[in-house]
Amino acid sequence: MNGRLRAQLEETILPPIVALLIAALVGDLLILVYGQSPAAVYRLLIQGTWGNAYGLGQVLYKTTTLTFTGLAVAIGLQAGLFNIGAESQLAAGGFAAGVVGAMLPAGIPSVVLLPLFIAAAAIGGGLVGGAAGALKAKWGAHEVITTIMLNFVVLALLNYLTVAHFKVFDTLHTADIRSGALPRLSAVVPAFHGSAANVVLVLALAAVAAAWWYLYRSRAGYELRAAGLQPGAAEYGGVKVSRVWWQAMLLSGAVAGIGGLNFVLGYKHYYEDSFASGMGFLGIAVALVGRNNPLGVFLAALLFATLSQGGLAVNAVVPKQMVEVLQAVVIIAVATSVPEVRRLLRGARRSAAT
């Protein structure tokens, strides 16, 4: 029993470490190609992210959005669905919150409004995700196709609505939210001054805990994971698999949508066209590297946020695209090292046993 726990721990923790080492090695080679010293570039990367309060604040800000989009993709994958639409779900959630916020009068306390904003963002994202889920449940339309296509439809629609109806003159954003906006972390820790990190981070941590409880402790999660692993067995166990599909997509979209609050409610206090800027797509990588486990998703979000922010920090000496290459290497390394490291671990354990 103890042995199994230890084995599980090893198999969970070692593969990402190996993947990171591989990525670092590839990074070394890339940096050398540019005639720079790897040690210096990595030092710069760390200094620009975890090395100072502003950098760390920016990392935490990106982590917040990535945690939500990563959780959204992970929830879908646990139900056996590949949600490629977190990008537009994130945007729709942010848009809904921004529009609701723009209509509110000043002076209402945040505590009262926060549930309203969460609901608006969840409905915005949930509608987009739920639409893909309903198409799948009702007509069997493949969610990969529908979510990709909905990305185009929804992002174009949001662009139209913003430009035609909601924008402030000469900008691409909605009017300021006058009440209910959330404070930045710099209000608590002044050192974070200037960074976008805000208290939506706390909401992200709560979402991690809630997702973990939902997936692994609730009956709905038991049924959702069963439907993802073996639809035939779930159906046999009295689970309506098609219902699980649309519910999971609804939930997935809602979680991605709430991620929109990070920008709209915590950072700019308005919705701006194309604020999502790839954070939804990066959520797919976050879920993959986090192995669809909520805690893993959070750690992976920290990693990708660090790399993303670190790219800006090292831009002076190497192109920031180099860090994008590194992100891709991490993804590939995780995908291959998980089965490979597990195989090696088991081999080692076996020879130790005999």
Using the contact rule CB under 8 A, the part of the chain among 22-30, 132-140, 223-231, 291-299 near other proteins is 223-231
Q: Is 115 in the site for other proteins (CB under 8 A)?
A: no
Q: Is 82 in the site for other proteins (CB under 8 A)?
A: no
What is d(CA 134, CA 119) in angstroms, rounded to the nearest whole number?
Answer: 20
Phi and psi of 83, rounded to 5°? -85, 105
What is d(CA 290, CA 301) in angstroms, rounded to the nearest whole number?
Answer: 8
Using the rule CB under 8 A, which residue among 2, 4, 106, 111 binds other proteins?
4
Using the rule CB under 8 A, which residue among 75, 226, 285, 313 binds other proteins?
226
b/e sequence 251-284, b meaning 16+ C-beta within 10 Å: bbbbbbbbbbbbbbbbbbbbbbbebbeebbbbbb
Using the contact rule CB under 8 A, the part of the chain among 21-29, 43-51, 159-167, 220-228 near other proteins is 220-228
CB atoms within 10 A of CB 335: 15
DSSP code of residue 315 = T
Q: Is 229 in the site for other proteins (CB under 8 A)?
A: yes
Q: Are 70 and 243 in contact (CB under 8 A)?
A: no
136 closest CA partner among 126, 127, 125, 147: 147
Site string for other proteins, 297-336 (x = CB under 8 A): ----------------------------------------
Q: Is 232 in the site for other proteins (CB under 8 A)?
A: yes
**Footprint of other proteins on 333-352 (CB under 8 A):** 346, 349-350
- Residue number with CB closer to other proteins (32 or 233): 233
User: Would you tell me which residues interact with other proteins (CB under 8 A)?
Assistant: 1, 4, 213, 217-220, 222-223, 225-226, 229-230, 232-238, 240, 346, 349-350, 353
